[in-house]
Chain A
Amino acid sequence: MKIGVLAVQGAFAEHIAILNKLGVAALPIRLPPEVVGLDGLIIPGGESTSISKLIRDYHLSDEITSLAGNGLPILGICAGMILMSRRITDSSIEPLGLMAITVRRNAFGRQQESFETELSLPVLGNQPFPGVFIRAPIIEQAESTVDILARLNNTIIAARQGNLVALAFHPELTNDLRFHQYFLSIVAESDRFNLRGSAVAKGN
């Protein structure tokens, strides 16, 4: 299994470290040729305006959109969630439109309103998950094709649509590996991964 981590700006090294800890090959992705052969992609937290510009410079954005259309599992964290959305309330950046969600940037306020709290995430079991929110966005609206994975005071902060997963908080800043394991299980169950696996087995 090979997971790409978008590495144009932001906290990509943290994800690569966690994936390596879980025994998975992780590659930093900065240019389109680097996406060849990926089984999954993480779009990390960072500054969404910077990342949005840097992925358009060399048409990496088009590659990501077409991979998502072909069923590549993608995990978007914070800025990554913003980029994966269909609409952003302040229209400050043009999102990739991968998930049927509307996102509000900096929804809790500026840095002094950044916070830590415990979250209930049923897909990870009963044990609470450490939520680290940094100038975090929220999902203001989600269409019926989207499964809600977690809420905080009725606000949607984690969602899944098929093989696409979006989070408002940062599991890579904690020692809890469960969310990355959950994403890797989505990759392992994806048609794309299994078809590729059987193609390799047949020697194609």
Chain B
Amino acid sequence: MKNGTLKVKIGLAQMLKGGVIMDVVNSEQAKIAEDAGACAVMALERVPADIRAMGGVARMADPTIIEAIMKAVSIPVMAKCRIGHFVEAQALEALGVDYIDESEVLTPADEAHHIWKHDFKVPFVCGCRNLGEALRRLGEGAAMIRTKGEAGTGNIVEAVRHMRAVSDGIHRAITTPQEELMALAKEMGAPFSLVSEVHNIGKLPVVNFAAGGVATPADAALMMQLGADGIFVGSGIFKSTNPEARAKAIVKATTHYQDPAIIAEVSKNLGEAMPGLDIKQIPTEELLASRGW
């Protein structure tokens, strides 16, 4: 028996497709997420909107919280570590979490290098803003990708920008002739072998979820129609006035993303969505998506 192979790492993400992964900060929220039909939860100490509001250094969650959440639900539990903080990742692996998110939502520990993820048995998901960034993370051993969006804003505009950029990159890789792929790899700053793979198979070799700004069922369906394999919702659920109803509605909208009647129906009477932020009002140095490279 072989554990921790790339196939089983990528395979778990394949099982999560078409589903919603919800940020939770305690076991009660984790139960609400599971009961709403979430396909996994992300255990963290504060949701991105609170991290943004509080400032300071955001780190891996207290293992007590993560263990309580792992005990409370039967669905996969993910947890975040700081970019480049391989010891936080080692600790999360020791706790037995199902996936690690090396996340720009936390304060980076290394501004030059991400974690060498091939060394771990636990799989990693990483954020990206375009195809080059996605392929750099895959080169380091990530088994799943998510577009970064802009976490904690309740504003979908950055998630849309990043998903469209990834799709454009894939389209370019497919249509670029063989003899020009090396120049494309150089331009994207991506490993040649992975650019070639995208050229040959016509898609990313791993699952790609949308993240960062999903606040409504329509936001989730929008990202699915733009080609996301599934949805991460951070602050969007537990910063709204009716988390149970909103969580269920976002799950349904993600499944039935091509069915406008269902999206309209599940969008009714959900109460207030989380308060949103205009990206243009956020000082450039406070944008989370520009963390990591």
Contacts and interface: CB of A to CB of B under 8 A. Distances in A.
A116 B11 CA distance: 11
Contact of B3 (A9, A105, A112): A112
Interface stretch (A43-51, A94-102, A190-198): A43-51
Looking at B1, B12, B18, the one whose CB has the most chain A CB atoms below 10 A away is: B18
A13 B12 CA distance: 14
A135 interface: yes
Interface in A140-178: 170, 173
Interface string A114-136: 11110000000000000011110
B96 A9 contact: no
Contact of A50 (B1, B8, B19): B19
Contact of A10 (B7, B15, B93, B123): B15
A53 interface: yes
Interface residues of B, number: 37
A54 interface: yes
Contacts of A170: 11
Contacts of A117: 1-2
Contacts of B19: 9-10, 46-47, 50
Given A47-B39, A111-B123, A117-B1, A8 B255 contact: yes
A11 to B, nearest CB: 5
B189 interface: no
B39 A111 contact: no
B2 A111 contact: no
Contacts of A106: 74
Nearest to A153: B1
Contacts of A49: 34, 37, 74-75
A46 B20 CA distance: 12
Interface in A1-49: 7-14, 30-31, 45-47, 49
Most buried by A among B11, B12, B122, B123: B11
Interface string B100-111: 000000000000
Shortest 9 CB-CB distances between A and B: which pairs? A111-B98, A47-B39, A114-B8, A53-B37, A9-B18, A115-B1, A117-B1, A11-B14, A50-B37
Given A47-B19, A173-B7, 19 more contacts: A9-B18, A46-B18, A47-B15, A49-B75, A50-B37, A50-B38, A50-B251, A53-B251, A54-B251, A54-B255, A106-B74, A111-B99, A112-B96, A114-B3, A115-B1, A132-B7, A132-B8, A134-B11, A173-B11
6 contacts: A47-B75, A92-B74, A111-B12, A116-B2, A116-B8, A134-B8
